[in-house]
Amino acid sequence: MDADRRRGFADVDDALFDTTQIPLTSRDIRTVGELLHDVDHTARHLLMDVAGDDAGRLLHGWPDLVTAASSLWSSLPGQGFGAGAHTRDEPITRLVSVGDAIGRSLGSSSWPPASRPDRRMTQMTGTLGHVSDLVHRYGADIPVQRAESFRDLEAARARIMHALYVSAHAVGVSLHQHGHSRYRAALGTNRPIELNRRHSPYAVPPTTEWIRRMAVSEAAAGRYLDGRFTQALRGEANRPIEDDTRISRALAGWDIQAHRTLASDAWPTNMVLITRTQGLIAGAAIVLVDAAQHAGHLEPTDRLSPAIAEAGRAWSNLASRWGDLSAPGDRLDPDLMRTAAEVRAAYRELTHASTTMASLDVIAARPGLLPGIDATLHTLESSSELAYVVAEKAEAPNLTGPARALSIRAHNDIEAGLATQAPDGDVVWVSPHDILARRIVPAPRPVVDGLRQASLRTVDACHSAASASAAYCSTPKASLVQHDAGVLEQRAAEWQPRVHVLPERHRGR
C-alpha cells in the first residue's frame, strides 16, 4: 500500500472520530420538553429542601446555571422572530450580566469559602446543557413560522425562566436561613448581631450583599414570568404516545440500576433518590389503578390502592430519614439520576397534561395504560426485595450525617416516642460545638434506631403491596393483557394530542 493511500485512510479515520462530524449518542431518550420538566422538577425540590448550610455551594453553582440557561435560550430557533423579541430577551441578558458579576465576586470574596457547587445546581446545569446540544443539532428543522411552533418555543422559554426564578428564590431562602443561624448563634455572646432594618431582617453580614444581588436576579426572572407563564404553557405542544412499552423499560432499567448502586461503595449518597423514586412509583401506581378501574380494565377493590398508598408513605418517610444522613457535598450516581429521571418522564407522559394531572378519562384513553399498569404491578410485586436490600443498609456501621439535622431528628424521635430515651434522662446527642461548626458526625443511637424501624415498616408495607399486586397479576379475570383489543384501538384513535415541534427523543445507538 503506497503512502498516498495510507494518508487517505488516515483522513477517513480522522473524519470518523471527529465529534463535530458525527452526532453524539446517548442512552437518554427524553425529549426536550421532558428534559425541561426535569429541570423544573429539580428546582422545585431544591426550594423545598434548601437549608442555610447550602448557601455557599448554591452561590457557587448559580453563575454556571445562568450561563447554561442563556446558552440554551440563544440556541432556540427563531431568535429575533416575532414582535417584541428584544423585550422578551432582555431579562435573560440581565440575568447573565448579574450572574457573571456574582461569579467574579465569588473569586475575591472571603465568604462563601471556595467549594464545589451544590449538586442540584450542577444537575440542572448539566440537563440544560444536554437540551442545548439537542436543539443545536436539530433545531434548524423546526418551522418557526408556524403558530404552533412559535407557541411551543415560547413555552420552552417560560420553562427555562421559571427554573431560574425558582432557583434564585431557593438561593435567597438559603441565604436568609444562613443569616438566621448566625443571628441565633450570636445571641448570648458578647458580640451579638444586629438585625437589618432596611431590607430583610436576617440579611446580616456576610450575606447582605449576596441577598441583594440574588433578589435582583429573582426580580428579573419574575418580571418575565409575570402574566406570561400560565399563558405560555397553554401553548406547549404534546406529542402522541408512540411507545407503549416505555414504562416497562424504564422500570426494568431502574430496578437494575438501583441494585447496582446499592452494591457499590457510593450507596449512602444515593439512598434519598432511591427511596424517593420508589415513593414516586407507588404514587403513580395509584393513579394508573384508578384510571384502569375507571375504564373497567380492573375490578374495583378496597385492598390494592390502600396497600400501595401505605407503601408510598413508608418510602417517603424513609427518604426523609436518609435525607438527614446526607452530607451537603455528596455526589449522586449519574446513571442512577438518569434512570430515575426516565421513570419520572415515562409516567408523566401517561398521567399528565401539559401543566396538570390529566383526568382519569384522558389517562384511560391513552395508549400504554394497560402495559404501564401491568409493568407497575409487577414492579410493586418485586419491590419488597428492594426494600429488604435498603433495610440492610440501615444496619451498616458508622452511619454519619450533618450534626444539626441529626440532633433535630434524635430529639424529635424521642419526643414522639419513636426512639427510647436514655436511662440517664435527657441527653445531648450531638455536641453544640459540632452543630455550630457544621460538622459531619456519627449518627446518634435514636437516629439509627428510628431509621431501622422505618426500614422494617417499609419492608412490611411493600410486602403487603406486593401481595395485593400479585393477586391482580395472577387473576385471569383481571388480566390486563386479555382486555378487548378493539376497545383499546378505539380509545387510542380518540386520543389525538398535538405533535411536538421541538426536537424529539435522541435515541442512543
**Where is average pLDDT lowest: 181-185, 210-214, 307-311, 375-379?**
181-185
- Judged against a pLDDT cut of 80, whether residue 18 lies above it is answered with no
- For the segment 67-85, what is each residue's pLDDT rounded down to a tens digit? 999 999 999 987 665 556 7
Coil, strand or helix at 441? strand
Whole-number pLDDT of residue 424:
66
How large is the average pLDDT for residues 174-203? Answer: 83
**Mean per-residue pLDDT, 122-146:** 89
| pLDDT attached to residue 131 | 95
Mean pLDDT of 33-50: 94
Q: Please write the tens of the pLDDT for every residue from 218-246.
A: 999 999 999 889 888 888 887 788 888 99
Neighbours of 106 (CB within 10 A): 18
Q: Is the pLDDT of residue 10 over 60?
A: no
Q: What is the mean pLDDT of the chain?
A: 85
Residue 257 corresponds to which amino acid? Q
Q: 493 falls in which pLDDT band (50, 70, 90)?
A: very low
Q: How confident is the model at residue 364 (pLDDT cuts 50, 70, 90)?
A: very high
Strand partners, 440: 402
Q: What is the pLDDT of residues 83-108, one digit of tens each?
A: 567 778 899 999 999 999 999 999 88
* pLDDT of res. 356: 85
**Does residue 367 have a cis bond before it (omega within 30 degrees)?**
no
* Strand 440-442 to 400-402 pairing: antiparallel
DSSP state of 261: H
Give CA separation, 295 vs 242, 308, 356, 359, 361, in Å: 21, 20, 20, 12, 7
pLDDT (0 to 100) of residue 211: 94
C-alpha cell at position 382: 418485586
